């Protein structure tokens, strides 16, 4: 299909210009375009019909990865940059895991972390990973006011976020901590397809090597990116043994709704949670111990 008529195309060079353009239109009449890998399909299918497209590609402030007290990732940072970023330590290594297998080569070279999270597609990897890692989302509005939302508060449901009509996502931050590791793995019909199920874990270990804090999230389910609190609670005190992890994953299976579709039935998705979860936990524990 062809998109509806688009009256204007803007390519601002600064954040202030981008916000000013968006604010000059009624809500929904102008949209930001990041990598364009999702929104272009939505425009072609006329799922969205903007009067103006605001292309963010020229705004350098929105790009790049830096580390200080926390890991900072610009909203326009592309998957390919995340996949190869040595600055991403073990605590947030799930970001690299996801970025290495998002979409196909074209998507990885053009798609961005901010674009994916703001679109929040039901089966996307990055929203689930930012949720599992406890990311903070930093927003800027037309008056220069900023606000920060945790992933739990920013990601409201499939195709829905807490970003205001006249706000722009500038960057995400991720906490780092010693003896902390994370991992993400998905299973799809082909290696780089959307996940039928994906599992993300972030674990912190105490001096005895037992889990003292845990976050766990899932992708590929009908409710979109979601936490798995029963699994998180069950992981506390675990030494990473397969039996203790299996008990945590059974708690997830018992409390998460798995749907059936043409790709997999509910029981198959439950088994994927068990299988992928064991692999993800083993990697996260190893990274927390400094073994990977």
State mean pLDDT over 103-131: 92
Tokens of 75: 């909203």
pLDDT of residue 292: 85
Cβ–Cβ under 8 Å, residues 227 and 130: no
Distance CA 149, CA 29 (A): 25
| pTM for this entry | 0.94
Would you state the structure tokens that stand for residue 30, as one six-digit string? Answer: 């102008």
Rounded mean pLDDT, 261-269 = 96
User: Are the C-beta atoms of residues 64 and 77 closer than 8 Å to each other?
Assistant: yes
C-alpha span between 157 and 221 (Å, rounded): 11
- Say whether pLDDT at 37 is over 90: no
Q: What is the pLDDT of residue 58?
A: 96
Please state which of the ranges 21-30, 144-153, 197-206 shows the lowest mean pLDDT.
21-30
What does 45-70 look like in DSSP terms, one character per residue?
TTSS--SEEEE-TT-GGG--EEESSE
pLDDT at 235 over 80: yes
In 3D space, the residue among 72, 30, 24, 23 whose CA is nearest the CA of residue 55 turns out to be 30
Nearest Cα neighbor of 175 from 206, 136, 124 is 136
The pLDDT assigned to 59 comes to: 97
Residue 159 burial class via C-beta count within 10 angstroms: exposed 0-12, middle 13-18, buried 19 and up: middle
- State yes or no: pLDDT of 191 exceeds 80: no
- Among 7-16, 44-53, 119-128, 222-231, where is mean pLDDT lowest? 44-53
Give the model's pLDDT for residue 105: 83
Chain segment 203-233, per-residue pLDDT in tens: 999 999 999 999 999 999 999 999 999 999 9
Grade residue 266 by pLDDT with cuts at 50, 70 and 90.
Answer: very high
User: Percent of the chain beyond pLDDT 90?
Assistant: 82
Calculate the CA 51 to chain-centre distance.
28
Tell me the pLDDT band of 110, cut-offs 50, 70 and 90. confident
Mean pLDDT for the chain overall: 94
Per-residue pLDDT for 190 more than 90?
Answer: no
Q: What are the φ/ψ torsions at residue 259 (nearest 5 degrees)?
A: -95, 170
User: In 3D, which of 227, 219, 133 has the Cα closest to residue 180?
Assistant: 133
**CA–CA gap between residue 50 and residue 53 (Å, rounded):** 7
Which residue, 203, 250, 258, is CA-closest to 226?
A: 258
Is the Cα dihedral 130, 132, 157, 266 positive or negative?
positive
- Rounded distance, CA 130 to CA 133, Å? 5
The pLDDT confidence band at residue 1, using thresholds 50, 70 and 90, is low
d(CA 55, CA 146): 21
The most distant pair of C-alpha atoms in the chain lies apart, rounded to whole Å, by 62
């Amino acid at each position: 299909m062809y998109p509806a008529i688009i009256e204007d195309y803007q390519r601002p060079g600064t954040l202030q210009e981008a916000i000013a353009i968006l604010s000059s239109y009624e809500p929904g009449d102008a949209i930001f375009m990041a990598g364009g890998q999702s929104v272009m399909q939505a425009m072609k299918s006329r799922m969205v019909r903007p009067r103006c497209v605001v292309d963010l590609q020229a705004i350098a402030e929105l790009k790049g990865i830096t580390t200080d007290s926390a890991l900072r990732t610009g909203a326009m940072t592309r998957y390919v940059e995340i996949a190869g970023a040595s600055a991403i330590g073990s605590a947030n290594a799930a970001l690299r895991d996801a970025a290495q297998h998002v979409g196909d080569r074209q998507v990885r070279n053009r798609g961005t972390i901010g674009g994916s999270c703001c679109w929040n597609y039901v089966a996307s990897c990055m929203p689930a990973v930012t949720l599992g890692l406890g990311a903070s989302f930093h927003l800027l509005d037309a008056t220069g006011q900023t606000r920060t939302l945790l992933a739990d508060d920013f990601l409201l449901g499939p195709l829905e976020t807490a970003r205001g009509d006249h706000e722009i996502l500038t960057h995400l931050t991720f906490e780092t901590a010693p003896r902390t590791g994370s991992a993400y793995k998905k299973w799809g019909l082909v290696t780089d397809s959307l996940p039928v199920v994906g599992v993300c874990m972030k674990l912190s270990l105490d001096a005895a090597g037992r889990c003292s804090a845990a976050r766990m999230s899932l992708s590929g389910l009908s409710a979109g990116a979601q936490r798995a609190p029963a699994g998180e609670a069950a992981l506390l005190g675990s030494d990473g043994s397969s039996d203790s992890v299996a008990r945590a994953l059974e708690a997830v299976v018992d409390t998460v709704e798995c749907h059936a579709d043409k790709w997999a039935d509910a029981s198959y998705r439950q088994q994927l949670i068990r299988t992928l979860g064991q692999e993800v936990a083993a990697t996260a524990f190893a990274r927390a111990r400094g073994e990977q």
